[in-house]
Amino acid sequence: MTRSFNIRLLLVLFCVRIATSYNILVILSHPGKSHVHVFAPMIRELGQRGHKVTVVTHVPVKDISTVNVKEILIGEPMVEVLSFSDVSPSRVFTAFQGPFLISSFAHQSCVDGLSHPAFQSFLRERHSFDVILYEFFNTNCYFGLTNKYKAPFIGLSTCGMMPWHANWFGSPQNPSVHQVLFTGFSQPMTFLDRVENTIEQIVSTFWYKYEMETSGRKYSKKYIGEEAANPQDASLFLVNTHHTLHGARPLTPSIIEVGGIHVHNKEVKKLPPLLGEWIDEADDGVIYFSFGSMIKGETLTEEKKKAFTGAFSRLSQRVLWKWENETMMNKPNNVMIQKWMPQYDILCNPKVKVFIGHGGLLGTIEAINCGVPMIVMPQFGDQVFNARYLENNGGGLVLPLHEVTEDNLYKALKILLSPESQKKAKELSARFSDRPMSPMDTAIYWIEHVVRHKGAAHMRSATIDLPFYQYFLIDVLTFLAVVLLAAGYIASKTIKFSLRLMTKTNKTKAKLS
């Protein structure tokens, strides 16, 4: 009996996969909550899988189930509350303002975070890490940690790729087809769209290189005591995008799309009783309206409030409206207002038919995941970019807030409530979810792959090391041009000489005859 038990135990142990635990350092330098919320589930999952994770962040990532995760809090989260009067209605102005705005955030977050006593205390301790994960957003001021700990590093992007990212990994960024994150155009782009996109690409890349990167190197040397690592030496880049939303484009093997990672295995919870009953009793469905946590709906102008309430009152559907006040003047009977609502749980309720939002990537991905079409009223940042790609892929309509009237809002809602639009949203959801591995499993596999293969240099594109003139074949084209010109010159001289010789020969024959 004992011998048989021992044999079975040995067989079980033989079959058990022995996991390797790695020491992982994660740097989330931007204090915005929405940025941290993208990769917080991945950090917790790394801990659940046995890895020891240290997180430098302004925003806590741990919950009651978190294990093997140590937080180093380096300040308070950014206060992200705006009114509509703070946002410019000009799309072009907002686009070109983008790189300058995030640059100002970088200075503040670098100085406050790097000088924080908790971070400086961490630097004085003795640590060893197998890999470092940085958010690649608006600064390189923490990149000196790579040289301090002599570890490979991986980039994280909570949004699409910034204009300067593709070049770091040898991936093409062609402004004729690849839209800059701060812009947002219908496809295909017109000539003027491509002109604007090209200028935005040049301006944004220049501003990062000569402002954000330069100041980041100074901060790294001052506060960490090490030169900032070259981002082109990064082993991997995990990006919160997916080609079913943001379009197909050529990516090098080191750029991995993990769009939707924040909704991986996210449980749809039961709604509060009052809210749940109100939705269940909506025979014709529900429309959910929220501008997220950053913009207060109550700051809408009276004209826009009337447009919304007027359009909603004409519908047979019920409307859930995130509204920061206890009351609303002239609120239609089919509208319920609340200061806060569990957005994902609402969107995944089968009664919800349309989502009116501002186009933040987290909310957009949640709507896609739940199969709900959107009316997007983008305000700033990457929201126009997300909105246009969503529209291009059949997931909704773009309706700028400054263009909203009661009639065009009502018409937009009726279009998205139609069976055809509902079907397109479900089809987009199916494409978005149809992958060989979940975004979470994909991200963790590649992080572990980088550690297992000591930085995974085999994934590095050779184009990264090519100088400008070689990448664009300027030297080859110049050489070929010289050869062709020389060949043409020689051929021309040869033909002229032959013609002169023939002419001279003919004259000589004529004289002799």
Give the residue-averaged pLDDT of 323-345. 91
Residue 16 scores a pLDDT above 60: no
Average model confidence (pLDDT) for the chain?
91
Give the per-residue pLDDT at 475. 94
CA distance linking residue 240 with residue 137, whole number of Å = 12
Summarised one tens digit per residue, pLDDT across range 438-462 is 999 999 999 999 999 999 999 999 9
Asked which of 228-237, 328-337, 352-361, 498-507 is least confident by mean pLDDT, the reply is 498-507
Give the per-residue pLDDT at 309. 95
Summarised one tens digit per residue, pLDDT across range 40-91 is 999 999 999 999 999 999 999 998 889 999 999 999 988 765 666 566 667 7
Phi, psi of 350 (to 5 degrees): -60, -15
CA distance linking residue 395 with residue 354, whole number of Å = 10
Summarised one tens digit per residue, pLDDT across range 25-54 is 999 999 999 999 999 999 999 999 999 999
CA distance linking residue 278 with residue 318, whole number of Å = 9
Who's near 162: CB < 8 A, 6+ residues apart? 136, 137, 181, 204, 208
Q: Which of 317, 246, 310 is nearest to 279 (CA)?
A: 317
Report residue 186's pLDDT band, with 50, 70 and 90 as the boundaries: confident
Residue 162: strand, helix, or coil: coil
Strands 318-322 and 335-338: parallel
Phi, psi of 491 (to 5 degrees): -60, -40
Residue 55: strand, helix, or coil: strand
Higher pLDDT, 502 or 454: 454
Give the per-residue pLDDT at 233. 97
Domains of the chain and CATH, by start: 23-264+438-459 (3.40.50.2000), 273-433 (3.40.50.2000)
Residue 19 scores a pLDDT above 60: no
Give the per-residue pLDDT at 11. 45
